[in-house]
Amino acid sequence: MADTRFKPVVALVGRTNVGKSTLFNRLTRSRAALVANISGLTRDRHYGEGRVGEHPYIVVDTGGFEPVATRGILVEMARQTAQAIAESDVVIFLVDGREGINAHDHEIARLLRKSGQRVLLAVNKAEGMRHHADLAQFHELGLGEPHPISAAHGDGVSALADEALAPLLAEQARESGAADPEAATDEGGAHEHRIKLAIAGRPNVGKSTLINTLVGEDRVIAYDLPGTTRDAIEIEFERGERRYTLIDTAGLRRRGKVFETVEKFSVIKTLQAIEAANVVLLLIDASDGISDQDAHIAGFITETGRALVVGLNKWDAVDREQREWVQREYDRKLRFLSFARVLHLSALKGQGVGPVLKAVDAAHAAAFAKLSTPRLTRILQAAVEQQPPPRKGIFRPKMRYAHQGGQNPPRIIIHGNALDAVPDSYRRYLEGQFRDAFNLAGTPLSVEFKSSH
Ligand code: GDP
Ligand code: GDP
């Protein structure tokens, strides 16, 4: 029985300027705070994690999901919007309560009605709106009752999220209630030692070839093709002492003895699998250089805080001159992955696969490292002694102690006074000190400050 559940996906759809990114930021606030404390991320966020109570869900802002070409913008937007609509569990369609409906809204509404997806119509910028009269016009879109919200002020937002998620969470609760409770307790102990691994990458980089290499050489304990689309497909295998659960990102199906990719690339499935994993192996077709889509997927992975190993695959097909070019491309496009190990491999020939799995193990160990308060505090004090934080005006930040606030990614929380003044460069300096001391290669690390004054 699969015990990994994909998080439900809410897609935010609407034309430019209706407030999608404002709503996105409000829904994903807690994750945003974590992401802000992970070094090296500069890209715009278009996907994040929201929560209803304890239950996480994925929010996708379709607005700028991929850079849009200047030509054929509408065509491209329509294509992306259509894909996000089809792959999500529920759509929140935003319109602008002040401007009213225009032709583009009608066009999106038409797409949505055709999709057959569940859609909640949100009328944004509704702060101070006189309800009934102003909302009435939006019934015209044929998408049911309009929900007035103010993304900027927060009015109506959590009620909207609750309503969007309620049926999905109820369904998940029913399904997990129906699962064998003993199977779950049996797993308890072994669970921690099992590495949940997602192999991510764009089409044709060699994901299924690698999976067949891994699974073919080793005893397959179980594989699972559960019925509902929201369940992750898992493949379990052992290698040496370790047990791995592969979480499918590729739309794999088993045909005879081998797995093959049968679905077209799905951004949302990739996101869900990355979210459900502890460690991600990002495969890149090195013979093809580094593409924008590779960088895109790398960005998602970093945003989730998952541990990461990068595999430059098809190394057998890269000649000497190309190697330098690949390296330059990598440095230029994937600089923000400096925490991750990069390995060369050939999934086809089975070369370099062992070292990749070793790096996965190390990344997993780093992501789940237990960092004791006394040791963290000693490292902090030594770092501060070696290089004190800069003054801001008359205030000198004072760092008292550090403790661990979470795992996968590790979060280190530093307590003291006047810590708001600590510049990001100093935060990165401390991060480096902790990384070295605890050997935390392979995982992002969040270093956060908590001031008492
Ligand atoms: P997007 O293009 O759909 O992502 O829209 P943005 O989130 O960038 O918002 C467009 C503009 O609308 C910005 O100037 C926002 O500050 C403003 N805005 C967003 N939500 C609200 C709201 O609830 N009320 C008002 N008055 N303005 C809002
Ligand atoms: P996926 O779409 O990521 O699952 O990619 P596949 O595993 O289907 O591989 C796509 C193509 O690349 C196939 O023709 C594979 O034989 C080929 N391929 C995969 N790994 C390697 C490799 O290490 N070296 C070379 N030369 N070709 C490879």
Q: Give the pLDDT confidence score for residue 208 in this predicted structure.
A: 85
Q: Counting ligands in written order, which one lies closest to the CA of residue 95?
A: 1
**Per the annotation, does 125 bind a ligand?**
yes
- Among residues 270, 283, 287, 376, which one has the least CA distance to residue 329? 287
CB 45 less than 6 A from any atom of ligand 1: no
Distance, in Å, from the CA atom of 179 to the CA atom of 223, rounded to the nearest integer, reads 17
**Per the annotation, does 264 bind a ligand?**
no
The whole-number average pLDDT for the span 293-300 is 88
CB 20 less than 6 A from any atom of ligand 1: yes
CB 83 less than 6 A from any atom of ligand 1: no
Distance 201 CA to ligand 2 centre (A): 12
**Per the annotation, does 126 bind a ligand?**
yes
Q: Give the pLDDT confidence score for residue 213 in this predicted structure.
A: 87
Contacts of 127 (CB under 8 A, 6+ apart): 150, 152, 153, 155
Find the range with the poorest average confidence among 202-211, 230-239, 337-346.
Answer: 230-239
**Per the annotation, does 349 bind a ligand?**
no
Q: Give the pLDDT confidence score for residue 43 in this predicted structure.
A: 54
Q: What is the pTM of this model?
A: 0.83
CB 417 less than 6 A from any atom of ligand 1: no
pLDDT over 90, % of the chain: 52
Q: Quote the ipTM score.
A: 0.87
Pairwise pLDDT comparison (135 vs 120), residue with the higher score = 120
Query: For residues 330 and 298, is the Cβ–Cβ distance under 8 A?
Result: no
Contacts of 195 (CB under 8 A, 6+ apart): 242, 243, 244, 245, 278, 279, 360, 361, 364
Which residue lies with its CA nearest to atom 12 of ligand 1?
A: 19
Q: Is a pLDDT exceeding 80 seen at residue 312?
A: yes
Query: For residues 112 and 151, is the Cβ–Cβ distance under 8 A?
Result: no
**Per the annotation, does 62 bind a ligand?**
yes
Q: Is a pLDDT exceeding 80 seen at residue 89?
A: yes
As a whole number, the mean pLDDT across the chain is 84
Q: Is a pLDDT exceeding 70 seen at residue 106?
A: yes
Q: Is a pLDDT exceeding 90 seen at residue 148?
A: yes
Q: Give the pLDDT confidence score for residue 212 in this predicted structure.
A: 84
Pairwise pLDDT comparison (38 vs 48), residue with the higher score = 48
Q: Give the pLDDT confidence score for residue 66 in this predicted structure.
A: 38
The whole-number average pLDDT for the span 6-21 is 91
Q: Which spans in 246-306 are helix H?
A: 267-276, 292-304
Sheet holding 119-124, edge to edge: 47-52, 55-61, 9-13, 90-96, 119-124, 146-148
pLDDT over 70, % of the chain: 82
Q: Show the beta-strand stretches assigned E in 89-225.
A: 90-96, 119-124, 146-148, 194-200, 220-224
Q: Is a pLDDT exceeding 70 seen at residue 163?
A: yes
Tens of pLDDT, residues 179-228: 544 444 434 444 457 899 999 998 889 998 898 888 875 444 444 444 43
DSSP 60-72: EE-TTSSPPPSTT
Which residue lies with its CA nearest to atom 9 of ligand 2?
A: 206
- Per 3-state DSSP, the chain is made up of helix, strand and coil in percentages (nearest 5) of 40, 25, 35
Q: Give the pLDDT confidence score for residue 227 in this predicted structure.
A: 40
Q: Counting ligands in written order, which one lies closest to the CA of residue 345?
A: 2
Q: Which atom of ligand 1 is nearest to the CA of 14?
A: 3
Tens of pLDDT, residues 356-370: 999 999 999 999 999
Which residue lies with its CA nearest to atom 19 of ligand 1?
A: 19
Q: Show the beta-strand stretches assigned E in 286-438.
A: 307-313, 341-344, 398-406, 411-417
Q: Counting ligands in written order, which one lies closest to the CA of residue 314?
A: 2
